[in-house]
Amino acid sequence: MQLRQLFWSSDTGWRLGALFIALCVVTPVITLGWLALQGSVDHWTHLLNYVVPTAFLNTVLLLLGVGVLVTCMGTGAAWLVTAFSFPSQRILSWALLLPLAVPTYIVAFAYLDILHPIGPFQSVIRDLLGYSSPREFRLPDIRGLPGAIFLLGFVLYPYVYLSTRVMFATQAASLLEAGRILGLTGRGVFLKVALPLARPAIAVGVSLALLETLNDIGASEFLGVQTLTVSVYTTWVTRSDLAGAAQIALAMLAIVVVLILLERHGRKRQRYANTQRMRPVQPKPLTGSAALLAVLLGWAPIVIGFIAPALYLLNQTLKHLHVAGGVSAQLVQSAINTISIAVFATIVVVVCGVILTWAARSARSKSPYALSKLCARVSTVGYALPGTVLAIGILTPINQVDDFLSWVAGLFGAASPSLWLMGSAAALVCAYAIRFMAISVGGLESGLARIPPSLEQASRLLGETATGTLRRVHLPLLRPAIGAAALLVFVDTMKELPATLLLRPVNFETLATWLYAEAARGTYEEGAVAALTIVLVGLLPVILLARNQLKSGH
C-alpha cells in the first residue's frame, strides 16, 4: 500500500520524471565500474610501470599546489577588499571574478606564446637587459608542473574568493571588535576570529577549484603534465583500451570522493550563533604606501589571470583578421556548432531541473517528498565527475540505446544506421546534461525557496493541479532564476573540452576543440579567434556574479 502511494498518488508524472533523470545520471557511474571489471589485468603491468605512478603523482602534486595557491589568493583577496578601503577597492571587489571568464586551457594556450623564448615578454626583457637572442638569456620554460600550478591557481582562485568574501562581508563587526578589545592585532583578528569562521566557505571554494583542476585536460596537456585525466584520454584514444581507461577513471573517481569527503569534513560542526543585531564589517582606510601595496596586490591576480591573456588573444585575433582578411569558414561552422549544441543542452538541462525541483516542491506527503528530494540530490553528482570519466561511463549506455533503436527500426522494415545517438551530437547533449544538472537544480531550488508556499496552497485549494500551479504561478516568478541557470549552463557548455573531445561525432568541431587542435599544431593565430570568442561569452556569467556581489556588498 505504501509503495503504491509512493508512486501512484497524485502528481505521479513529476516523480517518475525525477526518478528517470536520477537513474540517467547514476548510470554512467555504474557503467564505469562494469567496464573496469570487464577489462584484463594484463595491461596493468605496463600501466603500473610507465603510466599510473607518474600520472598519479603529478595529479596529487597538482591538486596540492593549486589548493594551496587558490586558498591563499582567494582568502587574501576576499579579506583585502572586505576589511580595507583603498583606491579602486570597489572595482576590485567585482574585477577579481574576471579570471572565471577564461577557461584553464585558454590561459595555458595564451601563456605558451606570451612566455615563449621568442615571445613578447622575454623579448622585452632581453631588450631591456641588452641581450640579442634567446641563447644569451631566457627564462625557465612555463611547461611543467610548476607552470601548471601557477596558471591554474591564477584562474581558479575566484571560486575561493567568491564564497569567502560573502562570508567575510556577513560576519558581525562586533565579533572582530571583541577580538581587538581582548588585545588581538589586526593580523590576530584575521587569523583567530575571521579565518576560523570562514573555514566552511573556504572548504567549499577549494573543493570546487580542485574539481575543476581534476577535470582539466587541455592546460595539462599543453603544459606537458601527465595527469590521470590526460592518461584516461590517451589510453582510450591512442591505445584504444577502453577498459584500461575505465580503470584509470575509477582511480580519478576515488580522488573526487576524497575531495568531497574532505569538503564535508571541513564544514563539520562549523556553527556559531549570534543573538545580537548583525552589523557589517567597516573597512579600514589605507593611505600612502599601504594603499599602494593593497592596489598592487589586488590587481596582480587580475592582470595575470585575465587582462594579460585577454589582451594577447585580442592582439592575435586582430593580426589574424588583418592578414587572412576574415575568419575561415571552418571556424564559423565551429562557432555555429558550439552555439547550437549549447542551446539544445541548456534547454534539456533547464527542463530537467524544473522537473526535479518541482517534483519535490509539489509532493504532498512525506514519502513522495523524500523520494523526489533524493532524486534531486542524486542528479547533481554529475558535476563532480570529470569530463573524461563521464564520457567513458556514458559510452556503453548510449550504444545500448542505439542498438535498441536499430532493433525497433528493423521491426518496421526501415533500413537505418546503427548509430543514432553516437553518430550525432545527441551524445554530447546527454553528457552536458549530466555534467551541468547541478547548476540548474541549485539555481531553481534557490528560486523556489523565495516563493511563499502560501501561493501554491491557494492555487491547490482553488482546484488547480500541480502542473497548472507551476505553469500559472511559479514559472512566471521563476524567470530570473531560470534565466540565470540557463546562462551559466550555456557558457559552461561552450567551454567544456574533455567530454567534447571524446564524444563528438566525426568531423564535428566546436570552438573548444578547434582551439585544442590549433594549439596542438602550433597555429596560435587561428586558435586565438576561437579562444577570444569563448572568453567574451564567458564574461556574461561573470558580469551576473559581479552584479550580485555589488548587491551583497550593499
The answer on 235 and 359 residing in a single domain is no
For residue 232, tell me if it sits in a domain.
yes
Lowest-confidence pick of 186-200, 257-271, 370-384 = 257-271
The residue-averaged pLDDT of 325-350 equals: 88
Do 268 and 198 share a domain, yes or no? Answer: yes
**Residue 212 and residue 86 share a domain:** yes
154 and 220 part of one domain: yes
Are 233 and 498 contacting, i.e. CB atoms less than 8 angstroms apart? yes
**Minimum mean pLDDT among 35-39, 208-212, 325-329: which range?**
35-39
Percent of the chain scoring above 70 in pLDDT: 82
Q: What is the CATH number of the domain that holds 350?
A: 1.10.3720.10
pLDDT above 60: residue 269? no
Looking at the structure, tell me whether residues 545 and 500 fall in a common domain.
yes
Q: Predicted confidence band at 3 (pLDDT cuts at 50, 70, 90)?
A: very low
Of 178-182, 332-336, 528-532, which range is least confident?
A: 178-182
The answer to whether residue 212 is domain-embedded is: yes
Shared domain check, 498 and 401: yes
Indicate if 473 and 353 belong to the same structural domain. yes
Tell me whether residue 367 is in a domain: yes
List, in order, residues 6 or more apart from 461 with CB less than 8 Å away: none
Mean pLDDT over all residues of the chain? 80
Q: Which domain holds residue 208?
A: 30-102+141-273+286-299
HEC string for 220-285: HHHCCCCCHHHHHHHHHHCCCCHHHHHHHHHHHHHHHHHHHHHHHHHCCCCCCCCCCCCCCCCCEE
Q: Is there a single domain that holds both residue 291 and residue 350?
A: no
Which of 68, 84, 70 shows the shortest CA–CA distance to 194?
A: 84
Instruction: Tell me phi and psi for residue 84, to 5 degrees.
Output: -130, 150
520 located within any domain: yes
In a domain, 220, yes or no: yes
Cα Rg for the chain, rounded, in angstroms?
25
Same-domain status, 369 and 485: yes
Alpha-carbon distance 73 to 298, whole Å?
10
Q: Are residues 216 and 81 in the same domain?
A: yes
Model confidence pLDDT, tens digit, residues 231-265: 888 877 777 777 777 777 877 777 777 777 776 66
Answer yes or no: do 333 and 384 share one domain: yes
- Residues 131-176: pLDDT tens digits? 878 787 888 888 899 999 999 999 999 988 988 887 777 665 556 6
- Tell whether 400 is covered by a domain: yes
Q: What pLDDT shows up at residue 74?
A: 92
Which of 212, 206, 250 is closest to 231 using CA atoms? 250
Which of 108-112, 255-259, 462-466 comes out lowest in average pLDDT? 462-466
Q: pLDDT of 216-226, one tens digit each?
A: 888 888 888 98
Q: Identify whether residues 338 and 293 lie together within a single domain.
A: no
Tell me 98's DSSP state: G
Total structural domains in the chain? 2
Q: Does the residue 392 lie in any domain?
A: yes
- Residue 83 lies inside a defined structural domain of this protein: yes
Band the pLDDT of 308: cuts 50, 70, 90: very high
